[in-house]
Structure 1
Amino acid sequence: MNRKKFYVIFCCCITFLSTLGCKQTPTQSADLQDVLRDLLTQKEPTPIPKTVKTPTQPDPEPKPYKTSDIWEHIAHNLRFEQTPHSRVKARVDWYLSQPEYLLTVNQRSSAYLYHIVKKIEQRGMPLDLALLPFVESDFRPHAVSKQSAVGVWQLVDATAYHFGLQSNDWYDGRRDVLASTDAALSYLSYLHKTFNGNWLHAIAAYNTGEGRVKAAIKRNKKVGKSTHYWHLKLPKETADYIPKLLALSYLLKHPETGFKRPALDNKATTTILDVGQAFNFGVLAQLLDIDKQQLHDLNTGYLRHQSPEQGPYKLLVPLTEQALMQSPFYREQFSRSYQVKLNDTLYGIARQFGTSVKKIKQINNKQNNLIRVGEKLLINQANINRTLTVDYQISPYLEQQATPKQATIEHHHTIVSGDSLWDLSQHYQVPLKDLLDWNNLQSASILSPGKVLILHLPTTKQAQPNEQLNVPSYLDVLEGATQLKEAPSTTEPNLPLD
């Protein structure tokens, strides 16, 4: 009898718990208009409750979504939280008013986007950062802002210098899409660490400067306000900057809104070639059997037809890595022959010559790892035996006057509380290294309030260049032989930066 009662009570409990569970999990649905309407509503950021993680049960890393289309790959791996806000809705409306915007700018980015995505993923950074060149410059390598920020990542000279980009009369690393990507990601990584892992603060600082964002956070803390990005008082351009990024991110994830997402293969259509010596675009284009103007268009960092004598010598070429390695020029100039010996393996040969098994297989068009004694293999190793330059010294046709030294004036800055060397270098638009040299300081030097720093700032009156020489015409024969033009073309469609 007791056992029967226990069974009845147990069944009742199971029924009650099942009913309660059903009541607590109602089906939720929302159409597109509901989602867009919700973006109009400004809400307080929802605090994320802190949880104590045990070292024995770490959260597994989410596996990246992989697909054959790179834009779909980006869309499915965006990580930034979409906080409903009226400024985000305004930017969504702006993008929806020109639904083919991304189709247009994708044409300028198609040769580089795969490489940018890979660089971001290799650093373990959020893939949302791949959208920044579109927000910054509509992916225009030649873009120059009113603040003299240059390139797709809109880097100013001091930041570019600090993060290792070269700049001279022959080459500007800020215009080099892949070189500037490395510098921009290093800068963003630094800002992310500076702002204690807060990406919105870091990206805002990337746009307006580290000092402004720190000052805004300090003001809010002083009056007891939230320091979340949406509560900071920042310049209008920066206040619209994050919403523009989040709106583009939102529309990529919701193509049903009518915003057109481009189709682009998730594979490399270009590859980086390290020439290893100074080169001329005309000569190299002929040897690689590719169009010289296309080579210029892919490598916008080079300002002339010839690379600097001291480098860099890296070029983006319109070939896959496999196609480049199979080209006659690469096999002749960047490989050497090796005869397989007893007990050799591809892995051992790769280690011996500082290359990889994959590259050896590619250059020899091998589908497997089998090799035989006596077989001759090509090993990818630079073996340049010809010059890739044209001697312009026979005529001043392409010689340019040396850039005159800019006139400067000595300026004194008195340190106040909160000043930092990096903030001052950005404020005065001077390289941090120069600021340190002028004042015999180290990067870790402590600035004491009241101390006076010396800066050498450009004057408003620029030094006048000497009158240029008349251009002779007798070098036309050489020009025709190397198929050179007077300057690389910079024509490209423009979109307004708003």
Structure 2
Amino acid sequence: MRSLVLACLGVFLFGCETTKPEPIEAPQIFTHFKPSYSAPSELKTPQSTKTNLRITPPKNTKNKIITPPAKTTDLWQHIANNLHFPIEQNKALKKRINWYLQQPDYLQVMSKRAAPYLYHIVKKVEQQQLPIELALLPFVESGFRPTAHSSQQAVGVWQLVGATAHHFGVKSDQWYDGRQDVLAATDAALAYLSYLYKRFDGNWLHALAAYNSGEGRVKRAIKQNKKHGKSTDYWSLKLPQETADYVPKLLALSYLVKHPQQGFKRPKLAYKALTTHMNVGQQFDFSIIAKLSGVGSKQLHALNQGYLKNQSSPNGPHTLLLPIEQQALLNSSFFKTNFAGEYIVKQNDTLYSIARRFGMPLSTLKQLNNKQNNLIGIGEKLLVGQPKTLPESLTIDYKISPYLEHQEVVIATLEIDYEVQPGDTLWSISQLYNVPHSDLAKWNKLSASSMLKPGIQLVLFIPQAEKPQVTTIKKDLLLDLQKTLNQPR
């Protein structure tokens, strides 16, 4: 039965139909074209035609002192440092390198689109121990356009078709298309690529070709070559022209990201999250979230293009990507108003004891309260990490969704990153942030007894208070928001 199911998947699960290369806003962006490019000396001519693209372990380093590379502050440099696919000289690869070199600003333009999401994509790839090259696929697939649609009905930066997206858990309805939600689509695309990698016995070239044109098509090409006694490596397979060009596009881009001195401009991007996830926990209206957070409604829509309307679906998802990094978030009026409670200093209190009481780092407590030292006074009011509540209704007119009037309110959460320090354990971190130990392990796909390496990033979710108090939105605010809704988007 299992083999039958897998065979069926091979017929209808093809993840993407690559959109045609975009002319990058306007042709005049690339006014200085370079002459045709000859193969760089770093490209190795293979001794055989077989290419399996397995990441080989380093040579024996016994008795050698290995100095770890300095931690970079540039995300693109981090990507370049971790690219490991071997690059081999051939006509198809040289052709794609030429194409990129004739458009040296290509990746700069794409990087601007990717900036809010790329850090999260890289972390998802690394957490699953997949090749970092996969983080470059959305650039090859769609030029990193969240709303890209192909002639084959593939959608989003990962160009997922409906059947594949549905199979790997992406939700789509009249309110929301998860294929246009960059991070939701990333989860599905990586799951599909991992599946294909296993189906093709650990051959990444075959897996990537199948992602582009379908598992069944690549398997038939391999079978045909076996039948005629030919090599079954990717370069020897008879595939549609688009698929034959697809892998060279990725390998050429990987090569030029790693070797920007060849004339291809590698972008610079801060190696940190530029956005953070917020789970509102209920149906929301973009206009109200814009009012609460101070982020423009237009920018919220631009970051969250999976939502097809000005409201989220009554049945979810209810998550938003906000353009606030963690440090700015802690200092923002949005966080202080909606996610931070108030504590009045009592006799014998210290900042350290208050931080421990509320399960938060001392540095965070000082940051929330703009403290430059540890001095506090009796009766002083401090903001603490004991969150307040958002309004019960985050829709313009909640009668649009009567379901909201009777539903049990779901706890809202805010996503933050935490860098493991020497001596940290899952237990100590869970106590520090007042979150369940088991949840912390689950969020990071770890076991409860996992040992932590200093420097790795963990994800945590700050919850709201357990029993939100009902609040009402003032009539004049409603009228103001309704006017906003009636304006063209």
Normalised TM-score (structure 1): 0.65
Question: How much has 1:111 moved relative to structure 2?
Answer: 1.3
The answer to whether the Cα contact below 8 Å between 1:345 and 1:371 also exists between their aligned partners in 2 is no
Q: Report matched runs for 1:313-352 at 5 Å.
A: 313-337=318-342
Matched with 1:474 is: none
User: What pairs with 1:157-168 in structure 2 (closer than 5 Å)?
Assistant: 157-168=162-173
CA distance in 2, matches of 1:49, 1:107: 31
Question: Residues 360 and 306 (structure 1 numbering): CA distance in 2 closer, same or farther, change over 3 Å?
Answer: farther
Choose which of 206, 213, 224 in structure 1 pairs with 2:229. 224
Are 2:300 and 1:300 equivalent residues in the alignment? no
Moved more, 43-52 or 178-187: 43-52
- Whole-Å separation in 2 of the counterparts to 1:146 and 1:36: 39
- Which of 121, 126, 139 pairs up with 2:144? 139
Q: Would the alpha carbon gap of residues 48 and 252 (structure 1) be closer, same or farther in structure 2, given more than 3 Å must change? A: closer
Partners of 1:87 and 1:94 in 2: how far apart? Answer: 11
Quote the Cα distance in structure 1 between the aligned partners of 2:223 and 2:132.
29
Contact map agreement 1:39 1:89 (CA 8 A) in 2: no
Higher mean C-alpha displacement, 315-324 vs 357-366? 357-366
Structure 2 residue 179 is matched with structure 1 residue 174:
yes
**How far apart are residue 357 of structure 1 and its match?**
8.1
Larger radius of gyration: 1
- What residue identity is the alignment partner of 1:121? E
Q: CA deviation at 1:121?
A: 1.5
Counterpart CA distance in 2 for 1:263 and 1:321 is 20
Q: In the alignment, is the contact (CA less than 8 A) between 1:39 and 1:85 conserved in 2?
A: no
Change in CA separation of 1:205 and 1:392 when aligned onto 2, cut-off 3 Å? same
**How far apart in 2 are the matches of 1:330 and 1:124?**
33
CA distance in 1, matches of 2:370, 2:293: 19
CA distance in 2, matches of 1:370, 1:123: 44
Structure 2 residue runs without a partner (length 5+): 1-36, 401-477
Given the superposition, is the C-alpha separation of residues 37 and 110 from structure 1 closer, same or farther in structure 2, using an over 3 Å criterion? closer
Pair 1:260 & 2:265 matched: yes
Aligned 1:201-212 pairs, distance under 5 A: 201-212=206-217
Change (3 A) 1:485 1:362: farther
> What's the CA shift for 1:221?
2.9
* Number of the residue aligned with 1:459: none
Inter-CA distance 51–486: structure 2 relative to 1 (3 Å threshold): closer
Percent identity reads 53
User: Equivalents in 2 of 1:110, 1:378: separation in Å?
Assistant: 31
Deviation of 1:385 (Å): 3.7
Whole-Å Cα distance in 1 between the matches of residues 181 and 93 of structure 2? Answer: 31
State whether residues 65 and 76 of structure 1, in contact with CA within 8 Å, keep that contact through their aligned partners in structure 2.
Answer: no
The residue matched to 2:116 in structure 1 has which SS? coil
- State whether residues 361 and 367 of structure 1, in contact with CA within 8 Å, keep that contact through their aligned partners in structure 2: yes
Note the C-alpha offset of 1:223.
3.2
- Rate the CA distance shift 1:393–1:35 in 2: closer, same or farther, 3 A: same
Q: Structure 1, residues 170-198: CA drift from partner, whole Å, max 9, x if none?
A: 11100001111111111112222222222
Please state if 1:66 is matched with 2:54: no
Question: Which of 175, 187, 192 does residue 192 from structure 2 map onto?
Answer: 187
Secondary structure (helix, strand or coil) at the match of 2:252 reads helix
State the distance in 1 between where 2:184 and 2:336 align: 26
Given that 1:36 and 1:89 are in contact with CA atoms closer than 8 Å, whether structure 2 keeps it comes out as no
Q: State the number of aligned residues.
A: 373
Structure 2 equivalent of residue 243 of structure 1: 248
Q: Distance in 1 between matches of 2:343 and 2:295?
A: 29
- Tell me: CA distance 1:35–1:51, structure 2 relative to 1, closer, same or farther (3 Å): closer
> Does the 8 A contact of 1:42 with 1:86 survive in 2?
no
Q: Is the 8 A contact 2:53 2:204 kept in 1?
A: no
Where in structure 1 are there 5+ consecutive unaligned residues? 1-31, 395-476, 489-498
Cα separation, 2, equivalents of 1:37 and 1:50:
18
1:317 to 1:161, Cα distance in 2 relative to 1, 3 A:
same
1:387 is aligned to 393
Listed as ranges, the matches of 1:400-419 within 5 Å are: none
Between the aligned partners of 1:222 and 1:381, the Cα distance in structure 2 is 66
Within 5 Å, which residues of 2 pair with 1:3-14? none
Query: AA paired with 2:84?
Result: R
State how far apart, in whole Å, the 2-side matches of 1:258 and 1:184 are.
31
Q: 1:33-90: per-residue Cα shift (whole Å, max 9, x none)?
A: 562696899962479999999xxx9x99996773122112211211111021110111
Q: Distance in 1 between matches of 2:251 and 2:51?
A: 17
**Which residue in the other structure is 2:218 paired with?**
213
- Residue identity opposite 1:266 in structure 2: Y
CA spacing shift, 1:240–1:65, aligned 2, 3 Å: farther
1:116 paired with 2:121, answer: yes
> Is residue 2:484 matched to residue 1:483?
yes
SS at match of 2:40: helix
Normalised by the length of structure 2, the TM-score is 0.66
Query: Could you say which residue in structure 1 is the equivalent of 2:103?
Result: 98
Name the CA distance, whole Å, in 2 between partners of 1:253 and 1:381: 44
Deviations 1:396-455 (A, max 9, x none): xxxxxxxxxxxxxxxxxxxxxxxxxxxxxxxxxxxxxxxxxxxxxxxxxxxxxxxxxxxx
> Is 2:288 the partner of 1:283?
yes
Instruction: Report the Cα offset of residue 289 of structure 1.
Output: 1.2
